[in-house]
Amino acid sequence: MAWLKINKKNMYLILKHCHLNGSLDECILKIKKGIAQISAIDTTNTLAVFIRKVSLGDKNATANLGIGNLEILLKYLNTIKDKKLKAKIDDSSITLNRADQRRSMKYILSDTSLIATTVETEKKQTEDDVLKTLLDLPTHKFPLTSQFAKDYLSFVGITKIKTTQIVFNGHAVSVICGAETDHKFTLTVDEDIKGKKGKKGFKININGEFLARIFNTIEEAPEAVAMIGADSPLVIEQGNTTWVLTPMEDE
């Protein structure tokens, strides 16, 4: 295959959004005519990430890449300041060159059939169908400001128990860090909640460590949105990325 010109920033961001500081260490990066997407889920079925329709720049790029070590690829991309990379893909590797070709990496690809984070689908079902089903479950949504994310990260870092409880009382949403027998820190959202208010409230328990890693990863813009429901996972969207956290059983 001829050398391709790849948008380095976009490639780095989608891999970073999937990796979440080690939450997911591998994935399949699907590229079709220069448009990339990722669908991945951790081995406990607690965290899933869906990244859709991200342009990597070169319309000649089409491949399914088994990325078996996201961390090492991210570390290499983080050393490159160029806006564009030159990439060459063969059956077993992808070679990435800096624009002046003085820095390069030959990354060995993994067999896509061995990638453990693959999202399983039913017969005649696609990964996009799975995402659509998940997005249909939440009943309420609210914006996640950068200040909200910073405050949550401060609170969850103090608590011993990393379970986070999200409570909707029919009018406002409270995000609570700390166990029943521990000190508690509460963040309240009572404005800009979209969905039917006045309805019966509900609460869900979420893995706070994964949630903190999402908050550490999201960018300041565009604004992220959280979606919740009584019979729904916690869904967080920002731009082309959707993270899904399955509720935990009551402790």
- What is 4-118's CATH superfamily? DNA Polymerase III, subunit A, domain 2 (3.10.150.10)
Q: What is the CATH number of domain 140-245?
A: 3.10.150.10
pLDDT tens digits, the chain, 251 residues: what are they?
668 899 999 999 999 999 999 999 999 999 999 999 999 999 999 999 999 999 998 898 899 999 999 999 999 999 999 999 999 998 899 999 988 888 899 999 999 999 999 999 988 899 999 999 999 999 999 999 888 999 999 998 888 777 899 999 988 999 999 877 778 899 998 778 888 766 788 999 999 999 999 999 988 878 899 999 998 999 999 999 999 999 987 65
State which amino acid sits at residue 241.
Answer: T
Asked if the domains 4-118 and 140-245 are classified in one and the same CATH topology, the answer is: yes
Looking at residue 198, its pLDDT comes to 63
List the domain boundaries for the chain: 4-118, 140-245
For residue 193, the tally of other CB atoms under 10 A from its CB is 18
Looking at residue 197, its pLDDT comes to 65
SS3 string of the chain? CCCEEEEHHHHHHHHHHHHHHHCCCCEEEEEECCEEEEEEECCCCCEEEEEEEEECCCCCCCEEEEECCHHHHHHHHHCCCCCEEEEEECCCEEEEECCCCCCEEEEECCCHHHCCCCCCCCCCCCHHHHHHHHHCCCCEEEEECHHHHHHHHHHHHHCCCCEEEEEECCCCEEEEECCCCCCCEEEEECCCCECCCCCCCEEEEEEHHHHHHHHHHCCCCCCEEEEECCCCCEEEEECCEEEEECCECCC
